[in-house]
Amino acid sequence: MAYDGSSIIVVAIFGVFLVNLTSSLVLAKGPCQFPAIFNFGDSNSDTGGLSAAFGQAPPPNGMSYFGHPAGRYCDGRLVIDFLAESLGLPYLSAFLDSLGTNFTHGANFATAGSTIRPQNTTLHQSGFSPISLNVQFYEFHDFHVRSQIVRKRGGVYETILPKEEDFSSALFTFDIGQNDLTSGYFLNMSVDEVKAYVPDVLNQFHTIIKARGRYFWIHNTGPVGCLPYVMERIPVLAGQIDRYGCASPFNEVAQFFNHGLKKTVQQLRKDLPHAAITYVDVYSVKYSLISQGRNHGFNQPLRTCCGHGGKYNYNKNLGCGGKVHKQGKDVLVAAPCQDPSTHVNWDGVHFTEAANRYIFERIVDGSFSDPPHPLNMACYRN
């Protein structure tokens, strides 16, 4: 079939039209305007939940930014704090905290030690929170209903509680799953036994998440085999330590969990066709930070900043800020390092503010997201 010159011109003009139209459509997709964040998770994003329920995270937590304990198990801010800042929102108040809280722009239901799957032990027995993900969602549901009833009273309540329409436009963020893995190890389960119950954990995650929300930002779990509280308590063979000093068996299970979580997210997209669900690979960012930390100013990628004794400056019986009684006086033994910004790990379990900032700066632009949307475009499905 022959084409004359006019046909070529028409095709060319039509092609330019399509390019311009596509560009216009892309430009029309401005940044998302999230009026609120509702966060669910564990200590990686807890801004005061466990402290409100079981006692404040003690000094020197909070020393680098807040200057005092602020409900976070960190020397300063968490990734969720940087996320809120980036979206122009204030730091999230913990739902369980009744003092000085403001829920206008969302609430934080995360508590340190929380799991997806409910635990059969108490906090004091195991160190894991009774406020599992299903309980956090019960709290959210109650908060949604009662906040609107109370807000109708007017006055100050209108200034500290979210509007009804903000719930459907809010960003729902998740960072949970790490404790589901470590809880098994601390019960002397093998890595194979922990892997065996991962599908049940993810099934419960799927069931809970499916019940609520429109815009989701979901972090996978990090390399738990690089955390002092795991490596110190659960010895592995020398051949199971990777070139960066991390315990490979535990990291392999974390990756198994993340592979399943990504499949769960794919299923959620089918179940919730109108929802925008972003899966964020924080595992890769955290492992890169630990393995290449010295290239980014972190001279101590594995050693704990705030702790006492042992290979990793970590002692499960004497945590960060821990004191011993000597000659009638309490003496601080587990003191913080001089410069937390040179450490990845704060207390053997959690990251420093500097490490959290590093993680945030790598994930905010969508480089580690599926779909590859930056945070401020997380309201779009494609």
Q: Tell me: the pLDDT tens digits for 122-180?
A: 787 788 999 999 999 999 999 999 999 999 999 999 999 999 999 999 999 999 999 99
Q: Is the pLDDT of residue 310 over 60?
A: yes
Structural domains of the chain, ranges and CATH numbers in brackets = 37-300+353-377 (3.40.50)
**How does pLDDT run across 204-248, given as a tens digit for each residue?**
999 999 877 799 999 999 999 999 999 999 989 999 999 999 999
pLDDT for res 28? 55
Which pLDDT score is estimated for 274? 93
pLDDT tens digit sequence for 2-47: 444 444 334 333 344 433 443 344 345 799 999 999 999 999 999 9
Computed over every residue of the chain, the mean pLDDT equals: 92
Between 18-32, 106-120, 190-204, 360-374, the lowest mean confidence (pLDDT) is in 18-32
Question: pTM (2 decimals)?
Answer: 0.91
For the annotated catalytic residues, the residue numbers are 43, 347, 350
Answer with the residue of higher pLDDT: 358 or 11. 358
- Compute the average pLDDT of residues 179-190: 96
N- to C-terminal Cα separation, the chain = 38
Look up residue 147 and give its two tokens.
Answer: 């906040």
pLDDT of 54 over the 90 cut: yes
| CA atoms lying within 13 Å on the CB side of residue 153 | 10
